[in-house]
A and B are shown apart, each in its own frame.
Chain A
Amino acid sequence: MDLSATLSRGLLSAALLSLLLVSSADAGEPLKPVGKPPTPRFNTLYDTDAVGRLLEAYAKAYPRWLRLSTIGQSSEGRPIWLLTLTNPESGPELQKPAMYVDANTHANEVQGTETTLYLIDFLLTRYGKLERVTELLDRAVFYFVPVVNPDGRSKWFSQPATPHFPRTVATPRDDDRDGLSDEDGYDDLDGNGVITRMRKKVALGEGRFRLDPKDPRIMVRVKPGEQGDYTFLGWEGIDNDGDGRINEDPLGYVDPNRTFGYDFQPRYVQGGASDYPLQIPETRAIAKWALTKPNLAAAQSFHNAGRMILRGPGSKHVPEYPREDIGVYDLISKEGERLLPGYKAMVIWKDLYRAHATTVDHLYMIHGAITFTNELYRAPTDLDGDGHPKPEERMKFNDLLTLGRQFVPWKKVKHPQYGEVEVGGYRHDVGRVPEGWLLESECHRNAAFVLFHARQLPKLSIAEVKVRAQGSGLWRIDVAVANERGIPSVTAIARQNKLHRQDLALIKGGKVVASGIVRDLDLDRIDLQRHRPERLEVPGVKGLGRQRLFFLVAGEGEVELRYESLKAGVLTRRVELKEPESRKEFK
C-alpha cells in the first residue's frame, strides 16, 4: 500500500465531506436512533451472550455511527467483538486520533465490560447535547473491545467460580506437568453453584485457626502461644486425578495479560505466560488489529480490583518511559485521582508487582499510545474508616447492607480425601465486583476518566503562517502548528524508538530550497533538514505546545502547505506568496 497516496485520497474525501457537513442540518444535533435503542440498566452484570445482544442492538440502532465487527475468535470459537464509534461525516476514520478501550482480559475481572457499555451508551446518547461529547465524536474515533476473553467471561458467569477464578483463557495447560491438561480443577461439593472455601475441625494443636467466639462464621488465625483447632483446606475441590494433590490443574492457565509482544518472558520468569508472545487467539487478534490502526494514540484496558490507575513499565528490567511522556501520563492520571475517589495513580513494577508482556506496555512501547489500566473497585467494607477493612466489618457489610447475600454459610459435606469438612464463604461476585447499587457510579466515573483521557488526544491546527519575500521570487515561510491538548502528535517513545513515521510537513506548488525545525525563533536557530526539504520530517507537536517550521520556497502565486500526522490527522492551508500589508508583523 502506498501510504502517501492513501493519505491524499483520504484528504480529498475529507475535504468533500467537510463541505457536505457544513450544509448538513444534522451536524452537531443529537443522534436519531433507528428503531428503539437498548436501554440497559447499569446496576447489574451481563453475561457474554447478553453483552453480545446489547452490542448488536446498539449497532442496529446507530448503524452509521457505531460499527460492530469481529477481529478474531476465542479458542472456543466465540467472537472477539470490536466496535468503532465516530461521526461518519467528519472525515475518514484513520485521519482521526483514536482512543482504544478494552475490558475483561481476565475472565473474573468482569465489570470493565459494563463500564465500556456505559461509555458507548453515554457517547451515543449525549452527542449533540453535551459539547464535550460532540467535539470528541467529531474529531476522534473510539475503538472498543468490551470482552477480550469471552470464553473466560462465559465460564465465570455460568460455571462454579470464585472471585479469582477463572482468570485464564480457555486454552488448556498442563499445570502439574503430568501429561494431562486441566484434569484437576475445583469442584462444587455442596452443589450451590459457586466455589467457596473448605475448612475442617482438627485436633487442638493441629490447626492454625480457631473460630471467632463472637461470630463462628469467621476464622481467626491463632497468635503465638495459642493453639488452633481449625484449618483451611483451600477452595472447594477434590483430588480428581489421584495424584495426592487437590485443585492443582484447573482450567487454563494462560494469563492473557502476560502474553503480549513487548518484554515477553517465558513461564519460568513470568507465571501465566504462553509459549510465545501472542500465541493465544484473543490477544493475537488485538495485536494484529492494532497494527492496522496507525492513528492509535490513547488506550485504556479495564481490570479489577483495587482502585488504581496503572501505567507501565511492568518490570524494572526494561527502561523507564521517557520523561516527556511521563509528563503526559501524570497530567491524565493525576486528574484521574480526583475524578475517581480512592484511586491511586501507580507504576506497575514500582507500586504493584512485576508483570511482563502486558497490554499497557504493548500498546505504549510498540504503538506509542498513552495507555492506562484502571483496576476498578475496592470493596467499601472499612466501616470504621481506620484504613483496615477487618473480617468482622466485612461480615457486617454482608449482614446489614446486602442482607446476607454475599456470604454462603458454612455447611458440612463429605470429602473423599478429607472426610467431613465444612464448605462456605463469600460468593464469587464479592470483593472484586461492586454490588449493583454501587456499580453505576463506578461505571460513570471511569467512563468520565476515559473521556478526559480521550479529550487529551492531540488536536492540531495551523496557528500561524508568515510569508516574507527574500527577493528574486524566493520566499521564507514560517509556520506554527499548535496542539491544544495534552497528548503529543508523536510520543517521545515513538520518536526515540522510531516506532512509526514522524509527522510530515509538505509544500506543494513551489520549489522548496530548504526547510527545517525552528528551535528558537528570536535567535533564528533552525535545524535544517539536509535532504528532501519539500518533505520535512517533524518530530511531532508536543502536548499543549507548538512546533515551528521553516521553509525557503522559490515560486509565485500560492503553494499548498500540508501537515500530515499519523496520530493527529491531516491539515492543509493555501499560502499566498506575497508580503502582508504591514511588515511590522515581522520583527
Chain B
Amino acid sequence: MPSARPSLSLAIAGSLAFLAAPLGAQEAPQRVRPPSVAEATQELERLSKAHESASLIQFGRSAGKVPLLLLRIGEPGALALDERPAVFVGANIAGSRPLGAAAALDLARSLLEAPAAERAQRSALLQRVCFYVAPVLNPDAHDANLGPGRWGRRGNAERVDADRDGLLDEDGPEDLDGDGQITQLRIPDPAGAWIPDPRRPDLSVRAEASLGEKGRFRLETEGRDQDGDGRFNEDAADGVQPDRNFAHAFPYPAREAGPWASSTPEAKALMDFLLARRQVALAVVYGEANVLLELPAAGPVPKGQAANRFQADDRASLERLATRYRRALKARELPTKRPAQAIAGGSLAAWLYYHYGAQTLELDLWAPPGKPEAPKSAETSKPAKLDLPGLRKLSAAELLEQASAHDALLERIGAPDTLGSRASAAGLEGGQLTPNQLADRLAPYLAFSKTKAGKARARARGTADWWAQQGVAAVTSFRPLALAELPGASVGGALPLADQFPPKAQGEAAIAAHSAWVLELASRLGRVEVRSLTLTPLGAEVYRVEVVVGNGGQLATHTALAALAKVRLPIRIELGLKGGVLVTGRPWAAHERLGGSAKVFKHTWLVRASAGQTLEVEVRATSEHAGRDSATATSEER
C-alpha cells in the first residue's frame, strides 16, 4: 500500500509539531495530524541537539530497516542516569495508533521545554528520574496509517504468506472507487450476514434474527479478491504485528503474531534495550488498549502459573490510579465513559507487566464518546419521554400529537423509521394501526437494544452522529461501484482510524492530559529511603543496630507480580562497620518489595565495638529500580 502523505507546509518547532490536515470540506474542523516517522525523527534530533539533558539513541531497526529511536532524558543528579529510577514511554508499537507519536513527542517537550513557571519543578524531576521516550516503535506500519489510503495496518515489512497459499502479499486492500480512501465494500449476497443499520444506512450491521432481519450482503474492507481464492484482502503486505510478537499469552498459531515471540526485530530490539535497563519502574505504552478504562481481569490460570495472573494488589493499585486518571480527563472535558480495549495477549504491554516486571499502563489516548453531545443551551425544551408501556396507554390521536416523542423512542431503541410517526400516521388515523400494535412491533427492538450487539449498534450510530456534530465526515454513504467482477457492489462506510485524527481541541487536550499524567506518575515513583538507624547499647560494648527502610514515593517500588515472579531484584541493605564487628549473621539483608508510602521493613544486627573505639555504622539501601539511600550512626551520639 503506498502511503500518500498530505503535504506539510512546515513543522512548528517548539510547540505541538503537528498540523491540522486540510479536509477539503466546507468549514472542516481542524484536526490533529500525528507526525510521520520522518517528522518524529526530525523532532527527536532537534530536541537532542537543543538540550544537553536529552540524547538520541538508536536501539535497532525495523523489519523495513527503519531506525528505531528513542530519546533519553535526564539531568545530572545524585545518581547516574542508568542507576536511577526510569520511566519508559513507548508509542505505536501497534502500528495503528499513530496519535501516540504526537503524545510521546509532547511529553518530551513537556520535560525539556516547559514554560518558565514549571521549569524548576521539571528540572527537579529530571534530576531524580530518567525518561526513555520512543515515539514510533513500529515505523513500518506507522506512515501507512497517516495518509488517506490508510486501512489500519499493524504489521511490519516482513513478508508473510498470511493465507498459506504459497503466494506472498498478493491480496491486500485497494482503493476501488478512486476516492483516495480505503473504506468498506458491500457485496450483494443472499448468504451474506450484513444489512444496513435500520437507522443509519451508511453503517453496516449483522442481521439480527430477533428483529426478523435477513442478511443482504457480505462486508469486506475495500478491495478485490486479487488472488481469486474467494477471500478478500486476506494477504496484504503487512508482515508480522510487533505488538503481538511478545511472549506473554503469545497468540499461537496466529499468523499475524509471527512464528514465535521475539521473531520481529522491533520486539527483540526493544526487549534487549529494556532488559539491559532494569531500572525502568514505570512503562507507559500509547497503544490500542486502555488499562485504566478497561481494567484487567484476574482470570484463572493453571496450577503453578500464578505469575501468569494479574495480581490483586496490582489491580487495586490500578483502580486507585484509574480514579485519578478519569478525574484528570474529566477536568479537560474528555470522555471517560467510552469503550476501551483490554491488554491483549502477545502485546508489548503484557510483556512489560508479566515478564519484565514494570508497572505498566497501556493507554489509548483518545476515542470519541459513543454518543452525540447533548445540546448545552437550556432553552431547548426536552420533549416528554415516551416509553413502550406509556405508548400502549395512549390513544391513536394522543400518539399522533406526540410525534417527536414517538420518533425519539425509535432513536433510543434503534428501530427503523418505518415504525416512526410519519410512516404510521396514516394507519393510526385510519384505525388500521393501534398504539398497542405499534408497541408490539417496537418491543423486539427494545429487547435487542439491551443486548451487547444492540448496544454496539447504538454506539456506532452515536459515534457517527458525534463526528457529524463536529463537522467531520467520518462515515461516507455507500456508492455503487462499476466493477464487472463485483456486480452490484458498493463502497462507503466508516473511514478507518478516525480516532487517530481527533478534532484539534479534543486531541490537544487528550495529549496534554496524558503528558501531565505521566509527569504526575513519575513524580510519585517508589524510592527506597532509610527512615531511621538506631544503635541500642546492650552492655559490654554490644549494640543492637536497627534500621527501618521505607518507601519515599507513593507508588510501590515494584509490582506484586514482579515480586512473585522474582523478575526484579529485591531491595538490599548492606551494613558497613568501623570500629566494630558483627557478632553473628551476615552484613546484608534483602526485602522483596515495598508497597506504597506506608510500607516499611526493619532489620537488626548485633554488633560489638572494638575496645576503646567509637563504633561507626553505615547502612546502604539499594534497589535496582527505586534508587538508593544510606544513613550513618555512631556510638558517640548516644
Q: Total A-B residue pairs with C-beta atoms closer than 8 Å?
A: 120
Name the one of A262, A500, A532 contacting B164, with C-beta atoms under 8 angstroms: A500
Interface residues of B in 382-426 (CB under 8 A from A): none
Q: When chains A and B are docked, how far (Å) is the Cα of A499 from the Cα of B252? A: 10
Contact with B along A528-546 (1 / 0, CB 8 A): 0011100101000000000
| CB of A504 closer than 8 Å to a CB of B | yes
| CB of A268 closer than 8 Å to a CB of B | yes
Q: Are A504 and B166 in contact (CB under 8 A)?
A: yes
**Residues of chain A at interface, number, CB under 8 A:** 46
| CB of A235 closer than 8 Å to a CB of B | no
**Known: A1-B159, A276-B262, A532-B228. Contact between A264 and B570, CB under 8 A?**
no
Contact with A along B246-279 (1 / 0, CB 8 A): 1110101101000111110000100100010000
Q: Are B261 and A275 in contact (CB under 8 A)?
A: no
| CB of B581 closer than 8 Å to a CB of A | no
Q: Are A501 and B165 in contact (CB under 8 A)?
A: yes
Nearest residue in B to A3 (C-beta to C-beta)?
A: B166
**Known: A179-B569, A269-B307. Contact between A537 and B261, CB under 8 A?**
no
Chain B CB count within 10 A is highest, among A179, A500, A530, A564, for A179
Contact with B along A120-147 (1 / 0, CB 8 A): 0000000000000000000000000000
Name the one of B271, B306, B308, B590 contacting A275, with C-beta atoms under 8 angstroms: B271
Name the one of B166, B228, B305, B355 contacting A4, with C-beta atoms under 8 angstroms: B166
| CB of B351 closer than 8 Å to a CB of A | yes
Nearest residue in A to B268 (C-beta to C-beta)?
A: A276
Q: When chains A and B are docked, how far (Å) is the Cα of A111 from the Cα of B271? A: 35
| CB of B565 closer than 8 Å to a CB of A | yes
Q: Which residues of B contact A291 (CB under 8 A)?
A: 259, 263
Interface residues of B in 292-333 (CB under 8 A from A): 302, 304-308
| CB of B636 closer than 8 Å to a CB of A | no
Q: When chains A and B are docked, how far (Å) is the Cα of A500 from the Cα of B160? A: 11
Q: Are A499 and B572 in contact (CB under 8 A)?
A: no
Nearest residue in B to A261 (C-beta to C-beta)?
A: B260
Q: Which residues of B contact A177 (CB under 8 A)?
A: 566, 569-570, 590
Q: Are A498 and B253 in contact (CB under 8 A)?
A: yes
| CB of A167 closer than 8 Å to a CB of B | no
Q: Which residues of B contact A276 (CB under 8 A)?
A: 246-247, 261-262, 268, 271, 351, 355
Q: Which residues of B contact A277 (CB under 8 A)?
A: 247, 260-262
Name the one of A1, A244, A265, A564 contacting B305, with C-beta atoms under 8 angstroms: A265
Q: Are A365 and B164 in contact (CB under 8 A)?
A: no
Contact with B along A549-585 (1 / 0, CB 8 A): 0000000000000001000000000000000000000
Name the one of A1, A244, A268, A537 contacting B307, with C-beta atoms under 8 angstroms: A268
Interface residues of B in 470-522 (CB under 8 A from A): none
| CB of B468 closer than 8 Å to a CB of A | no
Interface residues of A in 227-257 (CB under 8 A from B): 242-244
Q: Which residues of A contact B253 (CB under 8 A)?
A: 365, 497-499
- 12 intermolecular pairs with C-beta atoms under 8 Å apart: A4-B166, A4-B167, A243-B586, A264-B250, A266-B567, A269-B305, A275-B355, A276-B247, A278-B260, A291-B263, A501-B165, A532-B228
**Interface of A with B (CB < 8 Å)?**
1-4, 174, 177-179, 242-244, 260-269, 275-279, 287, 291, 317, 354, 362, 365-366, 497-502, 504, 530-532, 535, 537, 564
Q: A179-B622, A276-B355 are in contact. List 12 more A-B contacts (CB 8 A).
A: A1-B159, A1-B168, A3-B167, A177-B590, A264-B261, A266-B247, A268-B566, A275-B271, A275-B356, A276-B268, A287-B263, A531-B229
**Interface of B with A (CB < 8 Å)?**
159, 161, 164-168, 225, 227-230, 246-248, 250, 252-253, 255, 259-263, 268, 271, 275, 302, 304-308, 351, 354-356, 564-567, 569-570, 572, 586, 588, 590, 622, 624
